């Protein structure tokens, strides 16, 4: 098959979609809990119940979207628009619903409905999108470029998410207006970048997808069983399990940190929420620089060692914040050093897992003989959103148990200690988990090249005889015996 050339416009359009992926998650993790409690007057328990209910619905929606996008090429719309890109196009007029989440003075049920609806639209767009890099780029280096473009744009969106509240407040807007304008600006950006992805992306040719498919009709009940069996089967791929551990170590640690950082600045260091926004801008700028550094570092040192460097930086900066509170040092000049160190670590942790993710379908292909990017994207999105919501919800519960009072200009010493404990111990615990998982992860440029060579050998000969080195590498990445690969073992 002749590969289409990947040009700068393709990288830019693909990367810009992380204004939806990382941008929406940055806004939600940094501001939505603060908005619900301090602007709308919801209790921490009420606010976090919104996330819990959304995740229950998402447990069905995200895997279903991934499965449907894997099989949508069989429909007339799929043949016309593409099995992935159809859903991206469908999301364009729906993404402005993000602005509705930030209307103040509404009821609990309003915030629940608007949050859940946006989450469903988000999943419909982001899951098919996450498959495109694996379909557009066959080699390790090009996939790394797509991941780099995505994360660089994601860091720009995070800077915008952090800075917009401070910017709109500077024009004399009220606190409630500040968040509404932020939501409206992002809503417009979301629709524009989704449209750009649709125009400047492509998919794997349909004839390549159907080559190994059975022509027999499948009953609805069998299709439903196959949906969840495919999703659980992704967890039987060893590289994917380890990748998820690193991904969650890097991202959930940021969810915990982001959820209480504004509270930490406002109540522990006696600042304002606009001051917290300025600090977040500085941190996200450091993350942007960090991503540019970690892109070549991953190619030279490989993903796992680079990941551990990023974890070390992030942990050191977090400890710096805890030390500041313990020493009573609240001056701005003292804040900048740990803030920048945290940002340098977080940038690497944002880039590395998504760079690695683009190779998971390759590992799966040598086990099953099929391409199931949608199933992996569905699991990734569900796990990511579920654990982000779980982390934010747990933070809300701990805050309330620790004596936090919403809409209060000052908090008790016990509540402040709880905020500091979550920021320090919570973040470091999740980082430590990711660090130890990374010590077992061995997918890199060299092992991926061996994997792809073995896939080609299986395509040419269903019973190839590997070299001992190739056998060991493939078995380590897949978690399967070589004689069970290419669909010959127990069905994954």
Domain spans of the chain, in order of start = 9-204+223-443
For residue 81, the model assigns a pLDDT of 84
Closest CA relative to residue 127, chosen from 359, 367, 372, 366: 372
Are 279 and 51 in contact by the 8 Å Cβ rule? The answer is no
Q: For residue 138, which phi and psi values (nearest 5 degrees)?
A: -85, -20
pLDDT in tens, the chain (492 residues): 456 888 999 999 999 999 998 888 878 877 888 889 888 989 888 888 887 788 778 767 877 787 788 778 888 888 888 888 999 999 999 999 999 999 999 999 999 999 999 999 998 999 889 888 888 887 778 888 888 898 888 888 888 877 776 665 554 445 788 888 888 999 999 999 999 999 999 887 776 666 545 544 444 455 556 656 766 778 889 999 999 999 999 999 998 998 889 889 888 886 766 677 788 888 989 998 999 999 889 888 889 999 999 999 999 999 999 999 988 765 666 888 999 999 999 999 989 998 888 889 899 999 988 877 777 877 777 777 778 777 877 888 898 899 988 778 788 999 999 999 999 999 999 999 999 999 999 999 899 999 999 999 998 988 899 999 999 999 999 999 999 999 887 555
Length in residues, the chain: 492
Put residue 284 in one of left, alpha, beta given phi > 0 → left and psi -120 to 50 → alpha: alpha
- Record the tokens describing residue 481, joined without a space: 């015996």
Cα–Cα distance measured from residue 467 to residue 97, given in angstroms and rounded to the nearest whole number: 55
Cα–Cα distance measured from residue 54 to residue 421, given in angstroms and rounded to the nearest whole number: 27
Residue 486 buriedness (CB in 10 A; 0-12 / 13-18 / 19+): buried
Are 37 and 47 in contact by the 8 Å Cβ rule? The answer is yes
For residue 220, the model assigns a pLDDT of 43
- Record the tokens describing residue 24, joined without a space: 């929406």
Residue with token string 């593409």: 82
For residue 131, the model assigns a pLDDT of 84
Closest CA relative to residue 288, chosen from 416, 449, 148: 148
Measured between alpha carbons, how far apart are the two ends of the chain, in Å? 27
- Record the tokens describing residue 231, joined without a space: 């999703």
For residue 172, the model assigns a pLDDT of 47
For residue 166, the model assigns a pLDDT of 63
Domain 9-204+223-443 class?
A: mainly alpha
């Amino acid at each position: 098959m002749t590969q289409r050339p990947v040009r700068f416009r393709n990288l830019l359009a693909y990367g810009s979609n992380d204004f939806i992926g990382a941008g929406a998650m940055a806004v939600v993790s940094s501001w939505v809990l603060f908005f619900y409690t301090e602007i709308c007057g919801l209790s921490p328990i009420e606010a976090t119940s919104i996330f819990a209910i959304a995740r229950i619905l998402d447990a069905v929606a995200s895997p279903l979207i991934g499965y449907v996008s894997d099989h949508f090429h069989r429909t007339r719309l799929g043949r016309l628009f593409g099995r992935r890109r159809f859903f991206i196009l469908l999301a364009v007029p729906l993404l402005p619903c993000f602005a509705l989440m930030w209307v103040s003075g509404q009821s609990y049920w309003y915030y629940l409905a608007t949050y859940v609806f946006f989450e469903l639209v988000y999943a419909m767009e982001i899951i098919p999108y996450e498959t495109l890099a694996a379909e557009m780029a066959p080699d390790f280096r090009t996939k790394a470029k797509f991941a780099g473009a995505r994360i660089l744009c994601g860091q720009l969106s995070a800077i915008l998410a952090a800075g917009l509240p401070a910017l709109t407040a500077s024009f004399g807007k009220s606190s409630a207006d500040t968040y509404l304008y932020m939501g409206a600006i992002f809503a417009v950006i979301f629709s524009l970048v989704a449209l750009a992805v649709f125009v400047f992306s492509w998919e794997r040719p349909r004839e390549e997808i159907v080559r190994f498919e059975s022509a027999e009709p499948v009953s609805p009940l069998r299709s439903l069983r196959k949906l969840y069996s495919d999703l659980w089967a992704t967890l039987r791929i060893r590289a994917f399990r380890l990748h998820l551990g690193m991904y969650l170590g890097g991202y959930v640690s940021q969810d915990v940190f982001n959820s209480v950082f504004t509270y930490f600045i406002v109540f522990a260091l006696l600042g304002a929420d606009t001051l917290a926004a300025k600090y977040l801008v500085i941190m996200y700028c450091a993350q942007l620089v960090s991503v540019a550094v970690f892109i070549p570092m991953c190619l030279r040192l490989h993903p796992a060692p680079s990941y551990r460097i990023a974890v070390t930086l992030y942990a050191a900066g977090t400890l710096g914040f805890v030390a500041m509170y313990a020493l009573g040092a609240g001056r701005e000049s003292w804040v900048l050093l740990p803030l920048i160190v945290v940002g340098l670590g977080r940038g690497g942790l944002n880039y590395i897992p998504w760079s690695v993710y683009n190779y998971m379908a390759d590992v799966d292909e040598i086990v099953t003989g099929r391409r199931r990017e949608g199933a992996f994207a569905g699991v990734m999105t569900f796990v990511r959103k579920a654990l982000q919501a779980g982390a934010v919800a747990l933070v809300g519960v701990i805050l309330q148990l620790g004596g936090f009072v919403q809409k209060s200009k000052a908090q008790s010493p016990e509540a402040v200690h709880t905020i500091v404990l979550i920021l320090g111990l919570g973040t470091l615990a999740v980082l430590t988990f990711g660090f130890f998982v990374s010590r077992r992860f061995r997918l890199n440029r060299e092992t991926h090249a061996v994997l792809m060579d073995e896939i080609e050998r299986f395509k040419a000969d269903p019973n190839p005889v590997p070299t001992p080195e190739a056998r060991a590498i493939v078995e380590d990445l897949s978690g399967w015996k070589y004689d069970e690969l290419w669909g010959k073992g127990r069905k994954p």
